Amino acid sequence: MSLLATRIDLDAIAHNTRTIKAMVEPAALMCVVKADAYNHGVERVVPVMDEAGADAFGVATLAEARRVRTLTDKPVLAWIWALSDDLPVDVELGVPSLAHMRVLIDDPTPRRIHLMVDTGMNRSGIDEAHWAEAFELAQNAPQLEVVGLMTHLACGDEPESPFNDEQADHFRRAIDQGRAAGLELPVNHLANTPATLTRSDLHFDMVRPGVGLYGLEPVAGRAHGLIPAMSWVAKVTVVKPISKGEGTSYGLTWTAPADGFTAVIPAGYADGMPRNWQDKIEVTINGHRYPQVGRVCMDQIVIWLGDNSRGVDIGDEGVIFGAGGMDATELAERADTINYEVVCRPNGRTERTYVGTGVMAERI
């Protein structure tokens, strides 16, 4: 293993995909693999999800779609694109505005599209005042096959929020209007991971989970038998004594409370560990947690070993988060963020490695 790595458990990916697939049937499962499969690596993750039950794949950008397109024969949907982009013919497109619709209408190329309707998030999507026009344009464009409508929940991670029901009502109204305009709309979808896991009434014809496929719960306190797939690990590079009252790292913001030892872990903000994670991390070595102390540097952090009674030594593996250590959700809570961001953080000199095969392996 290199000094710093993410270890991706492909068996966990397979388990999570099968678990969610069984949960949502008969709705179809679109696996969201944007941002390089949430930083887990599309080249290895997509084939596993494909085998484990994915019906389609979703990404943000066209570049991501082209990459995923080489890995599966199943539909690939991209929903962020510019009016001037060179549009691939073998990728389904989300249509977020009338301007995007007009670009497609002016192009005779046959395409499969998903009309994005804004139901209250006020981000991407066609506003309700323009739904009728969009539906008419789509109905009158013979080169366009409208797969269905899609929208996104603003408060999906709050299952009891009444705004989820308001958005769902708006979405149903959009579907009714679209069908009244002559569109078949066979596959409509709004459920992200939290709605997929907690609101079966919002599954519609297809769901679009993301973070749950990688084993992370999107709603605090809920558990659905998912297995986190990513561990961020590093080799201890230095162990050295420190005297009571001595400081460590830039600014000497921490001083040793007693004579003892520190260890150095080769991960810093150049590798995706923000400086404001200072004092929020606990690195697990040989089954015991040790607090990170002092400033997070570009290349390194320091951890406090106390008297080092457990004999931590150079070359031992430290778990920053993941299997055997603090999980991404706990770290997210400490860092005042979400576990989505935590798993997207490891980068720079972090080497991605894999364990397991993802081939019909059951873990629980």
Q: What is the mean pLDDT of residues 140-153?
A: 98
pLDDT tens-digit readout, 241-276: 999 999 999 999 999 999 999 999 999 999 999 999
What's this model's pTM, rounded to 2 decimal places? Answer: 0.95
DSSP secondary structure letters along 269-288? GGGT--GGGTTT-EEEETTE
pLDDT tens-digit readout, 191-230: 999 999 999 999 999 999 999 999 999 988 889 999 999 9
Q: How far is CA 76 from CA 69, 73, 358, in A?
A: 7, 9, 21
Report residue 138's pLDDT band, with 50, 70 and 90 as the boundaries.
very high
- Say which residues have a Cβ less than 8 Å from residue 24's Cβ, sequence separation at least 6: 196, 200, 203, 207
Contact 118, 161 (CB under 8 A): no
Contact 104, 85 (CB under 8 A): no
pLDDT at 358 over 90: no
- Say which residues have a Cβ less than 8 Å from residue 214's Cβ, sequence separation at least 6: 13, 16, 37, 38, 40, 228, 229, 230, 343
Q: What is the pLDDT of residue 353?
A: 97
Q: What is the pLDDT of residue 222?
A: 87
Rounded Cα distance between 234 and 324, Å, is 13
Structure tokens at 263: 């260890």
Q: What is the pLDDT of residue 362?
A: 47
pLDDT tens-digit readout, 280-339: 999 999 999 999 999 999 999 999 999 999 999 999 999 999 999 999 999 999 999 999
Catalytic residues: 34, 250
Q: What is the mean pLDDT of residues 80-94?
A: 97
Rounded Cα distance between 114 and 125, Å, is 11
Domains and CATH numbers, the chain: 10-213 (3.20.20.10), 230-355 (2.40.37.10)
Q: What is the CA angle 351-322-250, rounded to 5?
A: 70
Rounded Cα distance between 314 and 322, Å, is 21
Contact 124, 79 (CB under 8 A): yes
